[in-house]
Amino acid sequence: MAEVAGLYYEAHGAADAPPLILSSGLGGSAGYWVPNLPALAEHFRIIAYDHRGTGRSDRALPEVTLVEDMARDVIALMDALGIKQAHFVGHALGGAIGMETAIRTGRIDRLVVINGWRTLSPHTRRCFAARLALLHGAGERAFLEAQPLFLYPPDWIAAHETELTADLDHHRAAFPGVETTAKRIVAVQAYAPDPAGLAALENLLVIATRDDFLVPFATALDLAEPVAKAQIATFDWGGHACNVTDPDAFNRLVLEFLRS
């Protein structure tokens, strides 16, 4: 566990294995990947990091925060760790960061985007507006209590109510605050990948989940449309955070793609 360029990161797996960077969504935490680390670390040198402004990374963000800034952080992390080329798995916002890093540098080998987009859906914008209204009107606790609704299927939430309730205090202690969260949501809403850069990507796997409440299934699939060699994988169940709700299936799928 260490820090470079103001970013907290964790390394898992053999130091001489091929590097794989994991980038989470709006929450920004390396801890998001806990269900996937054991399986992925058997084959790769895992670098999971806290986004700037979240977790144990530098909490200071510029007044205007962009996904392009977040990609520059990944590049700085790679440079500091001496990583010339890496695979990348990104969830939602993390997927956008991976796309932008790949477009800017060509240093991303195989890229996996989980429930991402190239054009943000009006439905997702409504979800973010509702979350911001909760945050500003009802406070951080209400925001965090509602968060599972956007991430997980109803039956999974019901089955894991005890764990979700127990985790609430931990999430409150680690919460980056109203201002930072609002800046990150603005960045999400503003981002659109360069069309030519996106179309030029190779070795892209797009994962879409049919029951994702936050990102519509068609929106996630649309990301693959301009990329000639893109592969697509779908989950019938699992919600927005399908790597958490169905880690075994997710791990098998991603390992098959990354190792092919």
What six digits make up the tokens of 113? 């985007």
What six digits make up the tokens of 75? 């590049």
Backbone angles phi, psi at 13, to 5 degrees: 90, 180
Rounded Cα–Cα distance for residues 189 and 64 (Å): 13
Average pLDDT value for residue range 121-144: 97
Find all residues with CB under 8 Å of 33, minimum gap 6, and list them: 22, 24, 40, 46, 48, 243
pLDDT of residue 38: 98
pLDDT of residue 1: 61
CA dihedral 37, 144, 69, 46 (to 10 degrees): 0
According to DSSP, residue 31 is labeled G
- Tens digits of residue pLDDT in 72-98: 999 999 999 999 999 999 999 999 999
- Tens digits of residue pLDDT in 6-44: 999 999 999 999 999 999 999 999 999 999 999 999 999
pLDDT of residue 215: 98
Full domain range(s) for residue 59: 2-259
pLDDT of residue 84: 98
Average pLDDT value for residue range 145-170: 97
Rounded Cα–Cα distance for residues 174 and 152 (Å): 20
Indicate the number of domains in the chain. Answer: 1
Find all residues with CB under 8 Å of 87, minimum gap 6, and list them: 18, 19, 20, 21, 44, 108, 109, 110, 111, 112, 258
Is the pLDDT at 247 greater than 70? The verdict is yes
Q: State the chain's mean pLDDT as an integer.
A: 97
47, β-bridge pairs: 11, 21
CATH code for position 213: 3.40.50.1820
- By residue count, the chain amounts to 260
One-letter amino acid identity for 66?
L
Please state whether beta strands 204-209 and 2-4 pair in parallel, antiparallel, or not at all (unpaired).
unpaired
231, β-bridge pairs: 205
Rounded Cα–Cα distance for residues 47 and 190 (Å): 27
pLDDT of residue 110: 98
Rounded Cα–Cα distance for residues 75 and 23 (Å): 13
Average pLDDT value for residue range 177-184: 96
pLDDT of residue 152: 98
Please state whether beta strands 86-91 and 108-114 pair in parallel, antiparallel, or not at all (unpaired).
parallel
* 45 HSE (CA, 13 A, CB side): 12
